[in-house]
Structure 1
Amino acid sequence: MTLRLPARIFLSALALLLLFTVAAWPQDVLKPGSAPSGGDAAAAQRDPFGRETPQGLVSGLISALADADYERASQFLEAERIWGRSGNVVLSGPELAKTFQQVLDRAGAVVTPAELSAAPTGRLDDGLPGDKERFGLVETKYREVPLLAKRVERDGVQLWLVSVDTLEEIPSLAQAIQYNSPGASLIDQLPKGPSVGGVSSSHWLALLVLAGLSSGLVWLLMAMRGPVLRLLRRRGEETSLTRYLEACAGPIGVLVAVLVFRAGIESLGVSVVARYRAVFLGQILGFCAMAWLLWRTADAAGEVVLGRMSRRGQLTAYSAVSFMKRAAKALLVVLFGITLLGAFGVDVTTGLAALGIGGLAIALGAQKLFENLIGSLTLIADRPVRIGDFCRFGSALGTVEEIGIRSTRIRTLDRTILTVPNGEFSSLQIENYSKRDRFWFHPILNVRYETSRDQIRFLLRELRSMLLSHPNVSPDPARVRFIQLGPHSLDLEIFAYVHARDYDEFLEIQEDLLLRCMEVVERSGTSFAFPSHTLYLGRDAGLDEDRARKAEDVVQGLRAAE
């Protein structure tokens, strides 16, 4: 059963909230003192807390805060303690990590994995020094303090930690937040309930209510699209724009719901862990909706281009447009996959470098794939055939039904589907019958040898007159010639071109011309010849006895003279 658009949007938001309740973003984070897996030297050098990248730093820190494991959370801080102006220790260790979480809960925002670098070097184009990375912001009534990570070396390993500059601001920020907001927020006054994924149930409930409100707002917007589309229609008929808007209503609705949900999170006052996970999963849903929207846009663009080409009679562009649409969708899938991999902590640059190193092996293993891809590009560029053309390629005959990226599918005369790889198809000699401007009418009339010269002249004159008077025969050229004395017939060649829309019409015209040729031959008094042999019969007179006797006497006289 097909779901209506508002129901789909609401279920998408509901699925988002169900994902919120799962465990924290999966990390290979180990408890302090545990050893990394693997016995090789490379594994021994890996950080057990996953702090080699900015993304690993933030994900591991949030995971530790969600578990309320402030001892582990302190391992993500560059400084073990914060000193006051008088030289005393203000905050240290787990207490510093706990205060840091309280500041983030009240006024902080942390960047999600989708926006953080998964490379050990971090982002080099953010305007910060190479050893620093911004991963969030704390915003109070009077000032804003950026959250900075710093790359430092610990035990021979380069790690990303929350910088000292940021940690030194924590005591003053905590006091400012306490002074400006001495009481608990509205959400903190609600019963907390059991903790799910390191977050109180009341916070998840608040997010659920916000998701419901976002879905309701989108439902109202989608309900209002009907009058707008009616205004855009021309005389009540669908247009390309209205079809596109109707097709894109789903992804646009999801995007609007995500944006509304994202804008309302900050005003709820939920914990930083809940906001971190909600924003991240909202971004993933937004990526999916954006990919969905671009997919529908590619379909709509292809439909518009094909419609314009069809109105102009450029039907040969169908294959090219179809291929370009598929290529755009393939590129969209690749970009979407790269985006998701980067959001989930996969270093895409390393993967691309690995592809470069293994490119030769891939090329050797995929020679046929690249050959067929190049063949498809050749078919689209040269356009020897298009979809719907009837052609001969090699020894086969059939109608082209689809020109794909890898192969071309042809409906044969036996009504079977023949799939030919494009690399092979592009190298064949292709005879396209659908591109004929005229059809060749070229019969050879074989008449009997008993036909007289005058009868031949009559046939030539009448046949020429018949061709030139026919409305579907091109007069240039339209000739009839007596070409040879054949083994069993006198041969007359007819050479003419016939104007016809398609092959079926040509067969009809050819049938009429052949019947007229038969009438002309019949009027001439002769008929068509059949393969034959002439046999002459005679009686043998035997030997001449008188001459034989005289010859024998001559020979005997010659012998006697010797």
Structure 2
Amino acid sequence: MSPPLRPIPLFLLILGLIVALPRSGVAQDGWPGDWQTYWSVGEAFVLLEQRGETVYGTYQPGDGRVTGITQDGVLRGTWQEADESGSFIFVLAQDGQSFAGRFGSGDWWNGHRAGIAQQQRPDWWSGATPQAKLRSILAAGNDAQYHGREGQVRWIEPLLSYDGPEGDSSDRDRRRRTLWHILDISTFRLWDAPVPPPEAEPGTELTYDIGPAGAGATYQLVFRLDDTNLWQLVLPPGPNLQADLARLIAARGYKTLDELEKARAGSPRMVMMDFILGTADWDGAGGARALRALDLDHVPRQLRRAEGALMADYLKRTIDRIGYVYWQEIPDDPARPLPYTFYRHPLGKIIIAPTDIKDEDGRLVERLWRFSRDTMEALPALYEALERMPIAPGLTAPPPLSQYFATRRAVLARADGLQRRVLGLELWQWIGLAAYLLAMSGVLALARRAARALGSGRGPMAAHLAQMGAPAGLLMAALLFLDASERLGLTLRAFGPVSALSAILLIFAVAALAYRAVSLVHGALMVRAVQTSAYTDEIVLSLAQGLLKLLVVIGAVIACADVAGLPYEGVLTGLGIGGVAVAFAARETVANIIGGAILLSDRPFRKGDMIEAAGTLAVIETVGLRSTRLRTMDNTLMIMPNAQLSDQVITNWDNRQRRKVQMLIGLTFDTPRDRLERFVARLMEVYCHQPDADTEDVTIGVVSLGPQSVDIELWGHFKVVTYEAQVAAQQALILDILSLAKEMHVSFAFPTRTVHLAAAPPATGQEDVPA
């Protein structure tokens, strides 16, 4: 049985659970607001208000009313439309942004919060003429369909009348949606709508034929003047509308509306829509959407965001002054053979033109409709001509998309007189350009002063740090220049190359800084590397420095070529061919570098080792990327190219685990045998007692009778590595041997010569008498 919880921890646990539970008063926004609702066979826009627990409101279309009581986020009530009524229940979601509901009949009725609809009749709403009527329907429908302001559909219902049998709200809703699809897939000019005669009487009807672009099929809109002298758009029965919609879709060559929607995605209309809707969400995903609508192929890829923002700003502000854009006035046929001219002015045109993307065989892969390059070049002049034109009714001044327009708005808000243009630029631009140039000069001067101050210090690191001053100053100046080109709008005019120049300057500054940084890091690491006995660190550092610097140079060249609009494939090919030529011209240097890499991989010696190569005995001092420095026994410096050294037979005298000792000890011939045998046995003991002697691999014994001595050979090894240790061990052994000889009273033979004198020859004339 578990022990009971203490009172205080239990209280804290309960309090934490209570705090963690969602509270309807905080997490929910309540029922008041605008709601887009839908059920299985229709939809409606509901406006709700709340007083205490009572919720009431209206919905369109249908001019219906709802009322109910809410408790803990659950709304129970009734709806009423004309002679129809029923009950419902809504359950508000925890976040207060949607609800799930059900009619009393059992059908579902759900909804979500919509964009705040205009509570008062919009300025563009009018039924005075068929043209005004059609404009009002398109404005409300486009707002709801494409701008996310679903509440605007409420203003469509008063503009319509229904022919045929009077249906319920679901029937009217289906008719409205079908009519909207017919309007949306058609291309027509509002100015072509019929103009009513001044003497028109109630009941007068006017017609206007519309239809999809390039299809040849049409649908006849019927406008009827009602008793209040307002024109109504007449909707025929639902089956007739459905048949007309299917006929128009078939005329475009498609079976369903979904197929047609997918097919017209790359049309001039969708390009305009992508641009305008994309600029509304510029800082989000809309920015990329808007830029895709512009032909920026002539702008380097790295500059397209900045350049594209400026072009988009010019274009959006120009379009807003031209007039309100109704999507249905722009053709939506992607197979249109000719470019679409949206606007024409003596200073230029706004054109949406196709770009054919073909494969290597010349076959068409894709056709992209975009605002043309000529449009991009004409935008500054067009905007200058239209700048004083008020923004079209129904639109608001857009926020700046580029640094240029943001800066311009801030400056002119304080000094409007600086807008006067001089030599192609406005006064505030000239002032800003002078300020930027002054700041760049100050940064460069400060960098030079800092470099001189660091250069006056001692040590290699101070020198390396001093070399970083100039690239750092150049980088800061390049950043200022790039910022100036964006904020001052020095592009799209005679200053077109300014952006590319600023980007190239920035690339050069970054490359120079990286190049010097590689040298700085290499110098710092090399200081530590020379203090070690391994030469591999130095070779690796030298190779790494060379490769990194080469990569920095190649990367800078490719980046500059990309900014300049040159294909990087050609640049890489040129670098490859140039590299082959340089390698052939400097093949000896390349061979030495490869030799250094071979020495790095094989590691036949270390720094300080004594080696023998090409018949020369020398000590390794340093191993570089191209050559190796050696010090001979007579203290002569010898520099050998790595290519030659790696091809030699190298004997490393220091790379041994033990060193051989070999002696020939000569005793005099008059040494007795027994003493000679005891000397050999004691000699073995003396050797084995040496601290560095290898007792497992030794041979001692009489090997020969020399010209002057009895020769005893000692052949063994000392477990030492360096030559100095070998000399010390061998000295100790020799001294012990001398002591042993003195102790045993044996003498070392030394070179002697015995002379035998023969008797004098007999006198002349005497003969030896035989015995």
For this structure pair, what is the TM-score category when the shorter chain's length is used for normalisation?
A: 0.5 to 0.7
Q: Deviations over 1:463-496 (max 9, x none)?
A: 2111211222222223322222223322222223
Number of aligned residue pairs: give it. Answer: 386
> Are 2:560 and 1:328 aligned?
no
2:706 is matched with 486
1:134 is matched with 299
User: Taking structure 1 as reference, are residues 328 and 460 closer, same or farther at Cα in structure 2, changes over 3 Å only?
Assistant: same
Q: Which residues in structure 2 correspond to 1:119-198 (within 5 Å)?
A: 132-134=297-299, 136-137=307-308, 138-140=311-313, 143=316, 163-167=373-377, 169=379, 171-177=381-387, 189=418
2:613 is matched with 393
User: Taking structure 1 as reference, are residues 339 and 362 closer, same or farther at Cα in structure 2, changes over 3 Å only?
Assistant: closer
Letter in 2 for 1:520: L
User: Taking structure 1 as reference, are residues 284 and 149 closer, same or farther at Cα in structure 2, changes over 3 Å only?
Assistant: farther
User: Taking structure 1 as reference, are residues 276 and 484 closer, same or farther at Cα in structure 2, changes over 3 Å only?
Assistant: same
1:547 is matched with 770
Structure (1/2) with the larger helix percentage: 1
Q: Which residues in structure 2 correspond to 1:173-252 (within 5 Å)?
A: 173-177=383-387, 189=418, 202-211=431-440
User: Taking structure 1 as reference, are residues 268 and 169 closer, same or farther at Cα in structure 2, changes over 3 Å only?
Assistant: closer
User: Taking structure 1 as reference, are residues 262 and 331 closer, same or farther at Cα in structure 2, changes over 3 Å only?
Assistant: same
1-structure distance, mates of 2:529, 2:652: 24
Three-state SS of the structure 2 residue aligned to 1:510 is helix
Q: Is the 8 A contact 2:511 2:556 kept in 1?
A: no
Q: Is the 8 A contact 1:393 1:431 kept in 2?
A: yes
Q: Work out which of the two has the higher radius of gyration on C-alpha atoms and give 1 or 2.
A: 2
1-structure distance, mates of 2:747, 2:447: 85
User: Taking structure 1 as reference, are residues 414 and 540 closer, same or farther at Cα in structure 2, changes over 3 Å only?
Assistant: closer
Three-state SS of the structure 2 residue aligned to 1:435 is coil
User: Taking structure 1 as reference, are residues 216 and 327 closer, same or farther at Cα in structure 2, changes over 3 Å only?
Assistant: closer
Please give the root-mean-square deviation of Cα atoms over the aligned residues, in Å.
Answer: 5.3
Q: Is the 8 A contact 2:693 2:717 kept in 1?
A: yes
1-structure distance, mates of 2:416, 2:691: 90
Q: Pick one of 685, 689, 693 that aligns with 1:465.
A: 685
Q: Is the 8 A contact 2:500 2:564 kept in 1?
A: no
TM-score when normalising by structure 2: 0.41
Q: How far does residue 382 in structure 1 lie from its aligned partner after superposition?
A: 0.5
2:501 is matched with 280
2-structure distance, mates of 1:368, 1:264: 49
1-structure distance, mates of 2:726, 2:673: 33
Q: Which residues in structure 2 correspond to 1:28-43 (within 5 Å)?
A: none
Give % identity.
Answer: 22
Q: Is the 8 A contact 1:306 1:317 kept in 2?
A: no
2-structure distance, mates of 1:188, 1:514: 105
Three-state SS of the structure 1 residue aligned to 2:696 is strand
1:318 is matched with 537
User: Taking structure 1 as reference, are residues 363 and 208 closer, same or farther at Cα in structure 2, changes over 3 Å only?
Assistant: closer
Q: Is the 8 A contact 2:533 2:606 kept in 1?
A: no
Three-state SS of the structure 2 residue aligned to 1:470 is coil
TM-score when normalising by structure 1: 0.54
Q: How far does residue 372 in structure 1 lie from its aligned partner after superposition?
A: 2.4
Q: Which residues in structure 2 correspond to 1:349-498 (within 5 Å)?
A: 353=573, 365-498=585-718
1-structure distance, mates of 2:439, 2:578: 48
1-structure distance, mates of 2:606, 2:296: 57
Letter in 2 for 1:326: Q
User: Taking structure 1 as reference, are residues 462 and 296 closer, same or farther at Cα in structure 2, changes over 3 Å only?
Assistant: farther
User: Taking structure 1 as reference, are residues 487 and 347 closer, same or farther at Cα in structure 2, changes over 3 Å only?
Assistant: farther
2-structure distance, mates of 1:323, 1:300: 11
User: Taking structure 1 as reference, are residues 176 and 474 closer, same or farther at Cα in structure 2, changes over 3 Å only?
Assistant: farther
Q: How far does residue 211 in structure 1 lie from its aligned partner after superposition?
A: 3.4
1-structure distance, mates of 2:731, 2:547: 49
Q: How far does residue 379 in structure 1 lie from its aligned partner after superposition?
A: 0.8
2-structure distance, mates of 1:149, 1:515: 103
2-structure distance, mates of 1:144, 1:298: 50
Three-state SS of the structure 1 residue aligned to 2:731 is helix
Three-state SS of the structure 2 residue aligned to 1:529 is coil
User: Taking structure 1 as reference, are residues 170 and 486 closer, same or farther at Cα in structure 2, changes over 3 Å only?
Assistant: same
Three-state SS of the structure 1 residue aligned to 2:732 is helix
2:510 is matched with 289
Q: Unaligned 5+ residue runs, structure 1?
A: 1-125, 152-161, 220-243, 549-562
Q: Is the 8 A contact 1:284 1:340 kept in 2?
A: no
User: Taking structure 1 as reference, are residues 380 and 489 closer, same or farther at Cα in structure 2, changes over 3 Å only?
Assistant: same
Structure (1/2) with the larger strand percentage: 2
2-structure distance, mates of 1:465, 1:144: 106
Three-state SS of the structure 2 residue aligned to 1:134 is coil
2-structure distance, mates of 1:147, 1:260: 35
2-structure distance, mates of 1:170, 1:524: 115
Q: Indicate the structure whose relative CO is greater, using CA pairs within 8 Å and at least 6 residues apart.
A: 1
1-structure distance, mates of 2:652, 2:608: 11
2-structure distance, mates of 1:505, 1:350: 63
Q: Deviations over 1:312-363 (max 9, x none)?
A: x993642442343233234235425634873789887657646766887766
Three-state SS of the structure 2 residue aligned to 1:531 is coil
2-structure distance, mates of 1:340, 1:176: 38
